[in-house]
Structure 1
Amino acid sequence: QVRVGANGTVNLASITFLASKAHAGSQAIIDWNPDTIIITTTDGEVLAQYPWPAPGTRYVSTHTHPTPPTSTNHHHTPQDPELSPMS
């Protein structure tokens, strides 16, 4: 068992994993196999599940960073106005 830190994280193999800020200060269980890390409460509630991160990774969470747009041109070209039948 491990204690969930004040910021909602736990540590395993020199990697910090986000478990749950709502469970800060409580006990958790980290179970792992070669492919997956699962963090649960002592009652078996799954707090987080992650694939093993790449070597050198120091922090893993469910939060993703937004991808910047590939183009900054967001202007639409107006279409040629149609002539009304009254013209």
Structure 2
Amino acid sequence: MKQNMLSCLGLLLLPLAAQAIEPGPSSPQQQETEAWLLLQSRGQAVSPIPQAAAASERDLSLQRWLESYKHAIPEYFKDYSGGQKK
């Protein structure tokens, strides 16, 4: 009984001993990506030319979005294992 109680106590204290992984980028590619995302979120890499869609472009994109609702959602998706199609 005493051994069982000590085992349970040890399991309850186990999460307190876990250590978190240091935050931050792990590779140069990730550092570069995070730098670009930071510039984007702060608005520091803004194009001097405003980019607005024409009315016809907005109409076409809205039409494409509305047509996407015409397709039925499948009951299940096919399972692909190992990157190979079955």
Higher helix share: 2
- TM-score per shorter chain, which class? under 0.3
TM-score by length of 1: 0.18
Higher strand share: 1
Tell which structure's C-alpha radius of gyration is larger: 2
TM-score by length of 2: 0.19
Higher relative contact order, chain-length normalized (CA < 8 Å, sep 6+): 1
